[in-house]
Amino acid sequence: MLARKKTALLLAAVANGALSLAARADGKSSMELGYYSNGPGGKELAAHDYAVAISAVSSVGVGADSTTALIGATNLCVAYTMTKAFREAVESCDAAVTLARQVDGPASRSLSPPGATARALSNRGVLRALSGDLAGAARDLQSAARSPGRSATPERNLEYLASSPEYRERMALAERGAE
């Protein structure tokens, strides 16, 4: 029980960070990725030194508990996404979603602030958008927007995705195909 409380305090004490992707030519704001700035690789992510962030998180190894593993998986998800190492990003983002659901789950909800699931789903949604899976991106971002403890980031990312000409075109084609 003491380890769970210590873990919850660690998650609560870890500062939040966000990285924005480049803005579009039409002037719309960009999508955002959330990371744990005081966790392994966090300072490197803030400095946009993604290769060093990957190394810093990887050198820590597998975390002793789900919160430590969540922080590492989230920060790797962001670093790999920013370097467009999509295969590795998918693995890290999927792991972050799984771990976040455990950390935000009913058994540990009283010990840690909610919101890890929203962050992990939003990050995976951004990854999916960047890799061309716009429908998957929309599902993840909508789920993130409905998650407890969410920030405004999932909604902003969803707005950005919905304003994308490519997304609107694909949705229009899908609607025509359904008729």
d(CA 75, CA 81): 10
HEC states along 141-154?
HHHHHHCCCCCCHH
Q: For a pLDDT cut of 70, what percent of the chain falls above it? A: 75
Identify the H or E element spanning 70: helix 66-82
DSSP-assigned letter for residue 63: -
For residue 99, give both structure tokens. Answer: 């771990």
Whether 36 contacts 15, CB under 8 Å = yes
Tens of pLDDT along 14-29? 345 655 554 444 445 5
Helix (H, G, I), strand (E, B) or coil at 2: helix
- Within a 10 A sphere around the Cβ of 101, how many other Cβ atoms? 16
pLDDT at position 124, please?
A: 97
Helix (H, G, I), strand (E, B) or coil at 35: strand
- Whether the pLDDT of residue 91 is over 80: the answer is yes
Task: Mention the CATH class of domain 31-178.
Answer: mainly alpha
Rounded to two decimals, the pTM is 0.81
Tens of pLDDT along 28-68? 558 999 999 988 999 999 999 999 999 999 887 655 578 88
> How much is the average pLDDT of 141-162?
90
**Can you give the residue ranges of every domain in the chain?**
31-178
> How much is the average pLDDT of 71-94?
96
